[in-house]
C-alpha cells in the first residue's frame, strides 16, 4: 500500500493529538488514532495491523528528521564496465562456464 503525503501528515497530526508526555518524552497511542484516521479516509482498504505498523514507521521517520516524506531510495546498484564486458563475452561464447568467467574477472558468481 502506498500512502500519500497528505495521509502521512494526517497520521502524524492524529498521533500527536492522541499522544501524551510521560517523563519528558512523548508517548504515542497508535490504537487511539486508527478509528479517526479510517473515518477520514473511508476508501482506504488496509488491514489494521498494517496500519499500525505504518503509523509507527511514519512517526519514527518524522521524529528524527522533522519530515514526513520518505527519503530517496538507493535505486539499482551500478554495474562496472568490467562486468558489462564479461557479459558481452558470455553472449559471444555461451559455452564458457560462468565460473571460468568469474575467475577471469574476479567477480563472484551468485549461487
How do residues 55-103 score in pLDDT, each as one tens digit? Answer: 888 888 888 888 777 776 666 777 778 778 777 877 777 776 767 766 7
Q: What is the DSSP letter of 20?
A: E
Identify whether the C-beta of residue 30 lies closer than 8 Å to the C-beta of residue 56. yes
Residue matched to cell numbers 497528505: 6
Tens-place pLDDT, residues 45-66: 877 778 888 888 888 888 888 8
Closest CA to 9 of 49, 52, 58, 63: 58
* Residue 62, pLDDT score: 83
Whole-model pTM above 0.85? Answer: no
Which secondary structure element, helix H or strand E, spans residue 44, and what is its range?
none
State the pLDDT confidence band at 28, using cuts at 50, 70 and 90.
Answer: confident
Residue 106 scores a pLDDT above 70: no
Indicate the pLDDT class of residue 31, thresholds 50, 70 and 90: confident
Q: At what angle do helices 5-17 and 48-65 cross, to 10 degrees?
A: 90
**Counting beta carbons within 10 angstroms of the beta carbon of residue 94, is it exposed (0 to 12), middle (13 to 18) or buried (19 or more)?**
exposed
Amino acid at each position: 500500500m502506498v500512502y500519500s503525503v497528505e495521509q502521512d501528515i494526517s497520521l502524524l497530526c492524529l498521533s500527536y493529538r492522541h499522544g501524551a508526555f510521560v517523563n519528558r518524552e512523548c508517548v504515542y497511542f497508535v490504537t487511539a488514532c486508527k478509528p479517526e484516521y479510517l473515518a477520514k479516509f473511508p476508501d482506504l482498504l488496509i488491514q489494521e495491523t498494517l496500519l499500525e505498523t505504518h503509523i509507527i514507521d511514519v512517526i519514527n521517520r518524522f521524529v528524527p528528521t522533522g519530515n514526513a516524506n520518505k527519503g530517496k531510495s538507493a535505486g539499482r546498484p551500478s554495474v562496472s564496465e568490467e562486468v558489462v564486458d564479461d557479459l558481452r563475452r558470455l553472449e559471444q561464447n555461451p559455452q564458457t562456464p560462468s565460473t571460468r568467467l568469474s575467475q577471469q574477472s574476479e567477480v563472484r558468481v551468485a549461487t
